[in-house]
Amino acid sequence: MRACTIALICFSWCTSSFGQANTISVPTESFERRVLSQEVPDFSVTRGTLLSSLESLSSGPVPFRLGFEGVLSAKFGEAVEPDPHFDLHLQNKTVREILNALCFADPRYTWSVEDATVNVYPRASVDDMNYLPNRRLNKFELKGITNIDQGLLAIYHQLPPPEEQIGHAQMGGDSSYPLEPWTATFEALTVRQAINRLVAHMGPRACWTFHGSRDFRTFTFFRSGFQPDVGTGAAK
């Protein structure tokens, strides 16, 4: 098991009805052509989970950025329904068809594309206005940040009340940022979209996961080709 270091961004959490759930975005024509419509000659899964299969797909012959949100347990330390393991053998299928097949194999999940990132998240969260990735930032400002934790702190400070607990679990993967300080401003983003922007700055093969429990949530960041040792239940 890989060593895990968890950095807490804040400790206070409660639910809120602020904002609205994230809407399903339409892929740009470029992303549709470059990624979703591309055929993969062979995609095989043997006793895989959805997360391991997505990581394999995202790091394969048609690479893409991935954001995965696991099903949260009710409380820290409590287990959720075990991830189903499945076999899947597909030939000459597009990335879109493979994503659909994977979410059919684990029907708890659905997927969409936003800012050239494939986001996979629980179906039950789509209309949940209190679900952290669906909450909205009126403005998201980054001022000279040089690492992902500074970006998470910016989300925490700029998210309207109430406060949210956000953690960063360092699982041993490469989540380094470019050395040049990054300054940027974005308008009207969900937290999911803000995380997509932070991870896009890591590079084209950067990925993220969101997991844990409803009272203790953590993000992990890595580059595809490295499978983080995380579950989709309680945070480790």
Looking at residue 161, the DSSP 8-state letter turns out to be S
Q: Residue 173's pLDDT is what?
A: 66
Is the CA virtual torsion 125, 131, 137, 138 positive or negative?
A: positive
Residue 40 tokens read as 């993969």
Average pLDDT, the chain: 84
Could you tell me the residue ranges of all domains in the chain? 5-26+65-81+109-223
How high is the pLDDT of residue 164? 87
The pLDDT score that the predictor gives to residue 96 is 97
Which residue stretches of the chain have pLDDT < 50?
A: 1-24, 227-236
In a 13 Å sphere around the CA of 228, the CA atoms on its Cβ side amount to 34
pLDDT of residue 176: 86
DSSP code string of 5-70 = EEEES---------S-PPPPPPPPHHHIIIIIT-EEEEEEEEEE-HHHHHHHHHTSSS--EEEEEP
Query: How confident is the model at residue 19, as a pLDDT?
Result: 29
